[in-house]
Amino acid sequence: MKRLSGWDAVLLYSETPTVHMHTLKLAVIELDDPGGAKFGVEQLRKVIQSRLYKLEPFRYELIDIPFKFHHPMWRENAEVDLTYHVRPYRVDSPGGRRQLDEAVGRIASTPLDRSHPLWEMYLIEGLAGGRIAVLGKIHHALADGVASANLLARGMDPHDGTQGTRDSYATDPAPSKGELVWSAFTDHLRQIARLPSVMRYTAQGVRRVRNSPHKMSPELTRPFTPPPSFMNHMVDATRRFATATLSLDDVKKTGKHLGVTINDMVLAISAGALRKLLLRYDGNADHPLLASVPVSFDFSADRISGNYFTGVLVSLPVDLEAPLDRVRAAHDAAAAGKESNNLIGPELVSRWSAYFPPAPAEAMFRWLSYKDGQNKVMNIPISNVPGPRERARVGGALVTEIYSVGPLTTGSGLNITVWSYVDQLNISVLSDGRTLEDPHELTDAMVEALIEIRCAAGLSEELTVVETAMEP
């Protein structure tokens, strides 16, 4: 048994009937011999069964504490019914990118059942070109982006297709109520003992902000003032999903030419695309948006669970018309956001979250989710996660594409997540049912935004075709 960290618990408490806190990982797989041996759901279950011993979060079962006396705990080695967790799904053949995206949206529209370990996996068949897809649906309380990437790597084969397997693992007995209450009591005492160090960490951050020459800059005073927009409202339970693939090399070379990072490019491309949609739906794009960019403070290669990140608030220059102005502004805003985050302390929210009382926290998030207003902290989350640099296999079959997207948050009906894989920069967009009828509007606009930047920079408007990716 182990207790959820405060940050893990907050991601659990923030879930409501309309705000689902699962993340999505989508792998498109090319079967070596489509007409030969079938790789179906039973084969996938066997693959997962053989690796459960090292996919520890898949064995975690949520255990609530009586009277909500403390954050829940993970029963670390629960029984796992793979006939429940690993499911078949079929699209109308021959399914392309849009049919796959629609299927992912439908699957994402239902929350995970907390009476089981908090994950599901779908084998999606019916795709064109002898391909299948595997969709992992994992609760954010289990893992952040870094942990998810490491977990994904563990579940895949090495190049030669050989990998040690194990058919079973020892399960843990369910704890008694008395054990749970006593554990909660003793842990509360430990938390009280840690409180002085948390207060010192906070005071150090306050002093750094006070001593900073930028303490009155917009970057430090702008939080909690996001402008209203078409994407900010009470979200509904429907989820719509869209993907697009760019050449990683195209984005790298464009960024190098302009003297900015890949992350700066992702922000600039997002700003250009969102500007188009703001003009289309709101009729104006007069003010920068506030984006929350997750930044990890634990990059351990062997970490496969837990959440060790903070949201860096970045001004998104949707108000600038010229593409290169947006690139420069995105670069400056990202640097300012990181500086502000480092000044206040990247672990500040994470450390204080340990002291959030469960019942009031859940009630607050429920109230916020039904309040028909905009998000008071940010407009949109935008993530850029480095994925595997080498091609992977599942059950011996080649993984041609990987996509990932985080959840929607209260009052924000869009999420943009960019996940790199070998030579690809894969864009995923998640929308609720009210924000966009077709989230491919946004993915298409992001591709167009990259072309605009390249043209303005004097580079070719012809983008490299990623041969391994599905057709647009």
Q: Which domains does the chain have, with CATH numbers?
A: 1-162+176-472 (3.30.559.30)
> Is residue 220 over pLDDT 50?
no
> Model confidence over 76-97: pLDDT tens digits?
999 999 999 999 999 999 999 9
Rounded-to-integer distance, Cα 49 and Cα 55, Å = 10
Q: Which pLDDT tens digit goes with each residue over 107-118?
A: 999 999 999 999
**Do the beta carbons of residue 316 and residue 288 sit within 8 Å?**
yes
Percent of the chain with pLDDT over 70: 94
Catalytic-labelled residue, pool 20, 70, 71, 140: 140
Average pLDDT in the chain: 91
Look up tokens 């994925």; give the residue. Answer: 387
pLDDT (tens digit per residue) in 345-355 = 989 989 999 99
Question: Which tokens in the block code for residue 117?
Answer: 């370990």
Share of the chain above pLDDT 90, in %: 74
Averaged pLDDT, 156-163: 53
Q: Specify the long-range contacts of residues 329-334, CB closer than 8 Å, at least 24 apart.
A: 329/268, 329/271, 330/260, 330/264, 330/267, 330/268, 330/271, 331/260, 331/261, 331/264, 331/268, 333/219, 333/267, 333/288, 334/261, 334/263, 334/264, 334/267, 334/293
CA distances for 424 relative to 155, 331, 468, angstroms: 20, 22, 9
pLDDT beyond 60 at 282:
yes
Has residue 163 got a pLDDT over 70?
no
Q: DSSP character for 53? A: G
Q: At residue 218, does pLDDT exceed 80?
A: no
In the predicted model, is pLDDT for residue 138 greater than 80?
yes
131-139 β-sheet, strand order: 86-95, 119-127, 131-139, 22-30, 397-405, 393-394
- Which of 147-161, 258-272, 295-309, 371-385 has the weakest average pLDDT? 147-161
Most confident of 31-40, 222-231, 441-450: 441-450
Residue ranges with strand state E in 297-396: 309-316, 380-385, 393-394
Query: 140 catalytic, yes or no?
Result: yes
d(CA 304, CA 152): 9
Question: Does position 216 have pLDDT exceeding 50, yes or no?
Answer: no
Q: Tokens standing for 103? A: 């299927």
| pLDDT range class, residue 209, cuts 50, 70, 90 | confident
